[in-house]
Amino acid sequence: MNIKTADEKQRKQALIAETALKMFEENDFYDISINAIAQRSNVAKGTVFNYFKTKENIFMHLLLVGYQEFFLQTINQLIQAKLTTIPELKSFLLSNTRDLIENHLTLIKLNALRGPVLEGKASREETIEGRKKLYEVHEQLAELINSLCPSVDVKTANKIFIIQSSIASGLINLSNLDSFNQEPIPVNMDDFQISILNDSVETFDFYLTGLLGK
């Protein structure tokens, strides 16, 4: 039991990371304690630190690995989509955005933590390492798009996904202005109301049209 295979180690690390991710769906970074992560993972507090040097590393890991997986999945979907025209690409990207928001909202929330919160205490090396890998996948995705739609150059394709996340991330921040702590404000504030999903898709749609033409 003292010596673990690389696989066993990875599995335990994944367990802890997944627990943290689940908790991040419901709570904010500062409301999630290492203690709580450990308990919900059925693991001792010290064990968490055996797999992640700091609390920030856990969430940086979630961000980097989560996005890698999302982009890998996107690559696969794109391969199967066999699209060739800009309208098809747009349609694909909008549906991909829906998927991102509906199934990977935490990823978008993590973006807001990265700069101001995580970088301060996350391991520089690990982060750069992870970001390099992510960058590679990102590039692969962009190159794939470029190969399918040659009018979209690689740089543009890369940017598309950054804007995609930006839009969703920003709309999360501006949501719920008509309530306070989840409870509705007893005043009509309809014009403050937004839908993260619909408004993200709409905004991204307009963006793509502007960028790629109709």
Partner DNA sequence: GATGAATGAGGGTTCATTCAT
Partner DNA sequence: TATGAATGAACCCTCATTCAT
Among DNA, a second copy, none, the one that 25 touches (CB under a kind-dependent 5 to 8 A) is none
CA 196 to CA 97: how far, in whole Å? 11
Q: What CA–CA distance (Å, rounded) separates 106 from 59?
A: 10
CA distance 101 to 117: 22
Residue 54 touches which of DNA, a second copy, none (Cβ within 5-8 Å per kind) = DNA
Contact 108/171 with Cβ under 8 angstroms? Answer: no
Residue 91 is a binding residue for a second copy (CB under 8 A): no
206 binds, among a second copy, DNA, none (CB under 5 to 8 A by kind): a second copy
Q: Which helix (H) or strand (E) holds 184?
A: strand 183-184
Q: Which stretch binds DNA (CB under 7 A): 18-26, 33-41, 129-137, 161-169?
A: 33-41
Using CB under 8 A, pick the residue from 142, 148, 152, 201 that binds a second copy: 142
Judged by CB under 8 A, the residue of 90, 109, 152, 201 near a second copy is 109
Interface pick for DNA out of 95, 121, 155, 180 (rule CB under 7 A): 121
Q: Are 158 and 198 in contact (CB under 8 A)?
A: no
Going by their DSSP bridges, the two strands 183-184 and 179-180 should be labelled as antiparallel
Q: List, in sequence order, every residue forming a beta bridge with 183; answer none if it has no partner.
A: 180
**Which residue's structure tokens are 């066993």?**
8
For residues 53 and 76, what is the distance between their CA atoms, to the nearest angstrom? 33
Tell whether residue 46 is a contact of DNA (CB under 7 A): yes
Nearer to a second copy, 150 or 210 (CB): 210
Where along the sequence are the contacts to a second copy (CB under 8 A)?
A: 28, 30-31, 109, 111-112, 114-117, 119-120, 124, 127-128, 131-132, 135, 138-139, 142, 154-155, 158-159, 162-163, 165-177, 180-181, 185-187, 189-192, 194, 199, 202-203, 205-207, 209-211
